[in-house]
Structure 1
Amino acid sequence: MEIIVNLDIMMVTRKVRSKELAKAIGITEANLSQLKRGKVKGVRFETLAKICAYLDCQPGDILAFNNNETV
């Protein structure tokens, strides 16, 4: 089970650069890069809300759940 981050796809769709989004939502480009690559342990709802507002999307457009368990 894993959470897949599709933020980079949404940014390309909306033609938004990392620098622009990071500045708009008030985080560093390095932290945004970590989030885009799924290398964070969590994201604040406030940050997620700012991303969604800026990109005019829903949280489900950015995050997906993969339930493929390998045993």
Structure 2
Amino acid sequence: MPIRVLLDRVLLERRMSLTELADRVGVTIANLSILKTGKARAVRFSTLAALCRELDCQPGDILHYEPGPADTGFEDDEET
């Protein structure tokens, strides 16, 4: 997947735990953990907005695009 999630880095910079972020955003720790480890296949804009609000950051601070040789486009157009 050419999208990397940099939530660990942002949490470290903000000196915030995953548990604290989950409480502030209203998302389960399990779901944030899936996002943090890069195993999430999608994220709602409302969740991304809440993360940015609580972390005082931009979406690009959390998500990073890294194209690679296998990056041929969308795997599943239904998720866009």
Shorter-chain TM-score: what band? over 0.9
CA–CA distance in structure 2, aligned partners of residues 61 and 41 of structure 1? 18
Counterpart for residue 6 of structure 1: 6
Q: Structure 1 residue 28: deviation in Å?
A: 0.6
Q: TM-score, with normalisation over the residues of structure 2?
A: 0.83
Please report how far the alpha carbon of residue 68 of structure 1 lies from its aligned counterpart in structure 2 after TM superposition. 1.8
Aligned-residue offset at 1:61 = 0.4
* Cα-to-partner distance string for 1:14-36 (whole Å, 9 max, x where unaligned): 00100000011111101110000
Amino acid of the residue matched to residue 57 of structure 1?
A: C
Aligned to 2:74: none
Higher relative contact order (CA 8 A, sep 6+): 1
CA RMSD of aligned residues (A): 1.0
TM-score by length of 1: 0.94
- After TM superposition, what 4+ stretches of structure 1 lie above 2 angstroms from structure 2? none
Deviation string, structure 1 residues 33-66 (Cα, Å, up to 9, x no partner)? 0000010110000000000000000000000001
Equivalences for residues 1-71 of structure 1 within 5 A: 2-70=2-70
Structure 2 stretches of 5 or more lacking a match?
71-80
Q: Which runs of 5+ in 1 are unaligned?
A: none
Structure whose alpha-carbon radius of gyration is higher: 2
Q: Tell me how many residue pairs correspond in the alignment.
A: 70
Identity of aligned residues (%): 50
